[in-house]
Amino acid sequence: MTPEQAARERTLGGVYVLTAYVLWGFMPIYFVSLAPTSPWEVVGWRVVLALVFCAVLIAVTRTWKRLFALLRNPRLVGWTILAGLLIYVNWQAFLIGTLTGHVVETSLGYFINPIATVLLGVIVLHERLRIAQWVAVGIAAAAVVVIIVAVGTVPWIALTLAVSFATYGLVKKKIGPSVDALSGLTLESLWLIPIAVVQLLIVGMTTGITMGQEGAGHMTMLLLAGIITGVPLLFFAAGARRSTLTVVGILQFIAPIMQFLTGVIILGEPMPTERWIGFGLVWAAIVVFTVDSVVHSRRHRNPLAAGVSDPV
């Protein structure tokens, strides 16, 4: 590949990653439009329809052999089961937050996710942090304490999103390039089908299934849940392979910024002074974290393939 072609690939990768994060940023608006469907029903349909969407794509791309090869590897199957459970927790926490008026808190979870990922690397992989990274971790921890003390509640939705997605990223790192994005999402959705079916049955026996009961427009929106889940993931996977870790790391804050603005401006969620202080500390931690990452990347100019986890 010539330098010009490599540059074009990196640019294209950045565009793909940007597209993925913008689509993820709009997700709260999409899911809020699904009311009165409960978070539990939405996640149930999301799992089922994501599997249908993946099956169609695999049929079109004729990549069944790749999927069957993965199923013959017990180690990879085990990792995909764990990844599926983690992404289920992430999806459920996100939908509970979005559909109960806590979109701002979901954005907090994704703001602190990169810092949670770094901290998880220290705890699990025994990685060593640079001084600036420790400073960012400390500021982020102080922000959570401020929110707990000042607001009077533990931001459990944000913490669940950050921890579940950081752990999901660690699992995807363990899997590495052995599992492509489409096969990975297919298997993760497949393992979650029993949970989704039970969840939908319980919803049907309690509050009642809304699919097909709220008009054609609502049903169409709900049926799009699989595509809404899969398309950003595929854009991200295509972009992450072409772009650099630094670009992906900086662009990842687009989604929580959009979610935060959606919660405050469009949905009118309350932002008392104490909460602004907490978010201000989080943003300060992000600035320290990002600047350190950029400086460190410039000091180590060796090209890196963006082998980061596949967000969902």
Chain segment 174-224, per-residue pLDDT in tens: 787 788 878 888 999 999 999 999 999 999 999 999 998 889 999 999 999
Q: At 69, list the tokens.
A: 């090869």
Q: Give this prediction's pTM.
A: 0.85
Work out the pLDDT band at 268, boundaries 50, 70, 90: very high
Backbone angles phi, psi at 62, to 5 degrees: 55, 50
Q: Which of 140-149, 225-234, 240-249 has the lowest mean pLDDT?
A: 240-249
What is the average pLDDT across 268-280?
89
Can you say whether the dihedral through the CA atoms of 118, 123, 128, 131 is positive or negative? positive
Mean pLDDT rounded to a whole number for the chain: 86
Per-residue pLDDT, 224: 92
* Matching residue, tokens 């393939």: 305
What is the average pLDDT across 225-248?
78
What is the average pLDDT across 237-264?
81
Residue 233 CA to residue 172 CA, distance in Å, equals 13
Higher pLDDT, 283 or 114: 283
The H-assigned helical ranges of the chain are: 3-32, 39-61, 64-71, 74-99, 103-125, 131-151, 156-175, 181-205, 216-223, 225-240, 245-251, 254-261, 273-299
- Nearby residues of 111 by Cβ (< 8 Å), 6 or more positions away: 253, 256, 260, 279, 282, 283, 286
* Matching residue, tokens 């180590």: 300
Per-residue pLDDT, 300: 63
Higher pLDDT, 133 or 39: 39
> What is the percent of the chain where pLDDT is above 90?
45
Per-residue pLDDT, 304: 39
* Matching residue, tokens 């770094």: 118
Per-residue pLDDT, 264: 94
Given a cut of 80, is residue 262 above it in pLDDT?
yes
Given a cut of 60, is residue 310 above it in pLDDT?
no
64-71 and 181-205 are packed helices; what angle lies between their axes, rounded to 10 degrees? 80
Per-residue pLDDT, 54: 92
What is the average pLDDT across 142-153?
82
Q: At 86, list the tokens.
A: 């983690």
